[in-house]
Amino acid sequence: MAVPIEYYLLLSAFMFIVGVAGVLTKRNAIIVFMSVELMLNSANLSLITFSSFMGNPVGQLFVFFVMTVAAAEAAVGLAIIIALFRNKQTVNIDEINILKW
Amino acid sequence: MTLEIILFVFFAGIAAVTAVLMITRNNAVISALFLVVNFASLAGLYLLLNAQFLAVTQVIVYAGAIMVLFLFVIMLLKPEREKSLTGIPGMKIFAFAIAFMVFVQLGYLIFFTAPSSTITPDVEASINAGTIETIGRELFTNYILPFEAAGFLLLAATIGSLILAKKKIE
């Protein structure tokens, strides 16, 4: 463990804020969705870092469940995007505002 | 410079650069491919952290299954180029300012609290924690209920996405 824990956490923080910037700036629903996956992965990196440095396997189990939820979320989210595209012929999140009053 | 530091700089550099490239490309397919490289380099970092099982799972589930699904949907829908999509003016500057501020705060917190001064890494325990044997034993004894719940979640997601994506029956 030659690399201190701080640098792993700093990389995780960097990937998280890149994901936040992607969600806020992108207008394509699929790329917004990919940025969310990036944020999920940065959280996974933090969990594995702490789990490994403390020698406790529970953090890695949690990452396993996060991956399960991410897979389910990706399948349902992309199905929603396909259904939206079929109705409105666009994936621009500014035009998909039927829930806005 | 040990091999571990060299490998960390290599994988962390790839992960950081591909993350930035992913959100700056205009073409959705190229963004997705950069995200695949990002996930693969994360798998390398997991190996450095002695999490062998999750490194393999990361490649199979994320870089494999989830990204294939993304690429499939992108090529199915052929979404417009990002440039032709107009957002709220000034949103970009606001977003990057917020992101930069949060990053500075997180970096300050990480180095100010200095977790490496309180956590003494135990290499032996760390190697034991990452093996498929340890994770499997935990998963099928203490965490059997969440494991079964995850199975139900996947079933619900399969049925849900089938119903959502199919055409309406007249």
The 3-state secondary structure of B120-164 reads: CCCHHHHHHHHCHHHHHHHHHCCCHHHHHHHHHHHHHHHHHHHHH
Residues from chain B contacting residue A26 (CB–CB below 8 Å):
23, 82
With a cut of 60, say whether residue B142 has pLDDT above it.
Answer: yes
Q: What is the mean pLDDT of chain A?
A: 90
Alpha carbon of A96: minimum distance to chain B alpha carbons (Å): 13
What confidence score (pLDDT) does residue B53 get? 92
- CATH number, domain of B105, equals 1.20.120.1200
Cα–Cα nearest to A42, from A16, A73, A18: A16
How many domains is chain B built from?
A: 1
Complex confidence, ipTM: 0.91
**Residue B138 is assigned to a structural domain of this protein:** no
Contact flag A25-B92 (C-beta cutoff 8 Å) = yes
Residue B76 belongs to a domain: yes
Does residue B169 lie in a domain region? no
Residues of A (26-65) whose Cβ lies below 8 Å from B? 26-31, 33-35, 37-38, 41, 44-45, 48-49, 51-58, 60-61, 63-65
d(CA B41, CA B18): 9
Q: Do B160 and A76 touch (CB under 8 A)?
A: yes
Residue numbers of the domain that contains B54 = 3-80+89-130
pLDDT at position B109, please? 92
pLDDT on residue B47: 93
Q: Phi and psi dihedrals of B7, rounded to 5?
A: -65, -40
Residues in chain B closer than 8 A to A61 (CB atoms):
135, 138-139, 143
Query: Is B157 inside any structural domain?
Result: no
The one-letter amino acid code at B58 reads Q
The tokens for B145 are: 């209920």
Query: What's the burial of A62, exposed, middle or buried (CB within 10 Å: 0-12/13-18/19+)?
Result: middle
Predicted local confidence at residue B169, as pLDDT: 58
Residue with tokens 């030659």: A2
Percentage of chain A modeled with pLDDT above 70: 99
Report CB contact under 8 Å: B19, A69: no
Mean predicted lDDT score pLDDT of chain B? 88
CATH architecture of the region A5-88: Orthogonal Bundle (1.10)
β-pair partners for A28: A92
What is the mean pLDDT of the segment spanning A23-43? 91
What residue spans define the domains of chain A?
5-88
pTM attached to this predicted model: 0.91
